[in-house]
Amino acid sequence: MKKVLISLFALMFAVALVSGVSFAAEAAKPEAAKAAPEKKEKAKKETAKTEKAKGTVKSIDQAKGELVVTAEGGADMTFKIKKTQAKGVKAGDMVTVSYEKKGEEMTAKRVTKAKAKMEKKEGTKKEEKK
C-alpha cells in the first residue's frame, strides 16, 4: 500500500511540475511577441531603400573608392564603391548605379555599364544592305 501511495504522490508531483513549466512558457510568449515587432521596426529604420541613377561617368578613383556620375538631370552624384564594383568602367561611359543612401552618403551596390543602343546597330546594318 505504501508503494502505491508513494507512486501516486510521485506521479502527481511530476504532473504538477510539467504543467507549471508549460504554464510559465505560455506566460513568456506574449512578452516575446511584443519584442519581435519592435526589432522588426528597428530593422526597417536601419535598412536603406535601394535607388537607381543613370548617367555618364565623370570620374572614377579606385584608390579612394569613389565614383562620380553626372546624372540625366545634370547633377553630379558621388558614390562610394568597392574596387570590384566598377571593373571596366571609365570616364565617359554610360552607367546605371544601384545605390543605398544613408544620410548624405551614397553607397553603390551595383554599377552596370550601359550597352550600345540597338538603333545604331540597326542603322549600320541597313547601310550595309544598300
Nearest residue to 97 (alpha-carbon basis) of 53, 48, 50, 49: 53
pLDDT tier at 119, thresholds 50, 70, 90: very low
Residue 87 or residue 99, greater confidence: 99
Options 3.10.290.10, 1.10.10.10, 2.40.50.320, 3.40.50.720; which CATH number does 50-113 get? 2.40.50.320
Percent of the chain past pLDDT 90, that is, above it, reads: 31
What does the block give as the cell for 48? 536603406
**Taking 80 as the threshold, does the pLDDT of residue 89 lie above it?**
yes
Contact 112, 79 (CB under 8 A): no
Q: Report pLDDT for 77.
A: 93
Domain ranges (residues) in the chain: 1-47, 50-113
Q: State the Cα–Cα distance between residues 109 and 120, nearest whole angstrom.
A: 30
Contact 119, 103 (CB under 8 A): no
